Amino acid sequence: MKVAVVGATGLVGTRMLKVLEERNFPVSELIPVASAKSKGKKIAFKGKEYEVVTPEEAVEMKPVLAIFSAGSDASAKYAPMFAEAGCRVVDNSACWRMDPSKKLVIPEINADVVEENDMIIANPNCSTIQMLVAIADLHKEYKIKRIVVSTYQCITGTGQKAVDQLVEERSRWQGVEHNIIGGEYPCAYPYQIDLNLLPHIDKFLENGYTKEEMKMVNETHKIMRDENIKVSPTAIRIPVLGGHAESINLEFERSFEEKDAVKILSATPGVVVLDNIKPDGENQNPAIGCKDPNALPYPMPLYSEGRDEVFVGRIRRDPSIENGLNLWCVADNLRKGAATNAVQIAEVLLQKGFIN
């Protein structure tokens, strides 16, 4: 099976290659794709070296599957070219997510929507993925009326330039102005990010929300197939290298018992509960990777890095409203929030016999 990874040299693209290898996806020939300036670079995959090619060259090589993570402009230009050549496309950009003719898929939730005539399938936004993986089964049981979510998103969601900015600032933070940076070095953000946080991800819209925040609203409605769920998001960028965190407040239509909600979360595919509440009333096991048996069990970005699960903790009833529940949710944004979910969509295509 010829598989193209478009954007193979980027942060998400390198994770896609890693996840394809880890999950033993049946790649007989890899086609690493990047811009012309990266043409000819060598990419290692499953013990072999492959040479980076341009998108135009990749189309001529006739892959059966192309996984894109090269940005919306590249997806808009090249995804239809691959699709017209008979290649299935899984796209990680925002380009096709809200296109009514394209499916937006989290395999644990709505793999059933994928059909044989789907040539371009959209991968949701990282923050939407981890939130919905955590709460989809709660919605089935109690019906969510309203979601209030604040995200705490690490800098790898912006890309390598943001990582470079943080590293530079951290190495010399005492000499950096705590205000607008005056172009001393390449910056991904309009303000310092180290020792700071920015309540600003993506562009601001006329309604006062950012594009990142409205993605969570619109994508939730499309994936959950329920336009009646009210979503109130605030997206925040934090100086952390790996892992997004979310504070999620849910209001249900139906009454619930806290222990039953924990049972549902514990049984939800792709979710790991790290909390001091267990369905049987005993204390939860110590946090992953921590040798202290008395450690406080709650999810943190450190525990999620390199993992595909969505970690949920701080599960507690909201006493301020009827049928309210609070959760704290953490996931690796480059894996389940991007690369792993895209590869899982490819696995759905494989399982349904749409690629071979």
Give the number of residues written for the chain: 356
In sequence order, the β-bridge partners of residue 45 are 48
Mean pLDDT of 151-178: 82
Q: Which domains does the chain have, with CATH numbers?
A: 2-123+339-351 (3.40.50.720), 128-333 (3.30.360.10)
Mean pLDDT of 199-206: 97
Lowest mean pLDDT among 132-146, 235-249, 268-282, 299-313: 268-282
pLDDT of 133 over the 70 cut: yes
Distance, in Å, from the CA atom of 82 to the CA atom of 158, rounded to the nearest integer, reads 26
Q: Which residues are catalytic?
A: 126, 244
Residues 6+ apart with CB under 8 A from 218: 97, 98
pLDDT at 174: 55
pLDDT digits (tens, 9 = 90+) for 58-95: 999 999 999 999 999 999 999 999 999 999 999 999 99
Distance, in Å, from the CA atom of 105 to the CA atom of 113, rounded to the nearest integer, reads 8
Residues 6+ apart with CB under 8 A from 267: 137
Residues 6+ apart with CB under 8 A from 120: 79, 80, 83, 88, 89, 91, 96, 102
pLDDT digits (tens, 9 = 90+) for 153-164: 999 999 889 998
Distance, in Å, from the CA atom of 94 to the CA atom of 75, rounded to the nearest integer, reads 9
| Residue percentage of the chain with pLDDT more than 70 | 91
pLDDT at 235: 98
CA 86 to chain centre: 27
- What residue type is 146 in one-letter code? R
pLDDT at 286: 45
Mean pLDDT of 105-113: 98
Task: Number of helices (H) and strands (E) in the chain: give both, helices first.
Answer: 10, 14
pLDDT at 295: 63
Quick check: 276 and 258 in contact, CB under 8 A?
no
pLDDT digits (tens, 9 = 90+) for 283-337: 444 444 444 555 678 999 998 999 999 999 999 999 999 999 999 999 999 999 9
Q: Which residue has the higher pLDDT, 20 or 275?
A: 20
pLDDT at 179: 46
pLDDT at 285: 46
Paired tokens of 153: 């998103």
In sequence order, the β-bridge partners of residue 147 are 231, 250
Residue 59, classed as helix, strand or coil, is helix
Residue 272, classed as helix, strand or coil, is strand
Quick check: 105 and 79 in contact, CB under 8 A?
no
pLDDT of 255 over the 80 cut: yes
pLDDT of 178 over the 80 cut: no
Q: Name the one residue in this structure whose structure tokens are 């595909």.
A: 308
Q: Apex CA 39: angle with CA 33 and CA 40, to 5°?
A: 110
Helix (H) or strand (E) run with residue 58 in it: helix 55-60
Cα four-point dihedral sign 346, 1, 157, 81: negative
Mean pLDDT of 110-132: 98
Quick check: 123 and 91 in contact, CB under 8 A?
yes
Q: Apex CA 260: angle with CA 256 and CA 264, to 5°?
A: 115
Q: Name the one residue in this structure whose structure tokens are 């492959």.
A: 50
**Burial grade of 52 (CB within 10 A; 0-12, 13-18, 19 or more):** buried
pLDDT at 327: 97
Mean pLDDT of 131-151: 98
Q: For residue 41, which of 73, 10, 83, 62 has the smallest C-alpha distance?
A: 10
pLDDT at 65: 98
pLDDT at 283: 44
Lowest mean pLDDT among 170-184, 193-207, 211-225: 170-184
Q: For residue 304, which of 295, 296, 294, 313 has the smallest C-alpha distance?
A: 313
DSSP 187-213: -SSSB--TT--BS--S-B-TTS-BHHH
Residues 6+ apart with CB under 8 A from 347: 23, 25, 107
pLDDT at 70: 95
Rounded to the nearest integer, the mean pLDDT of the chain is 92
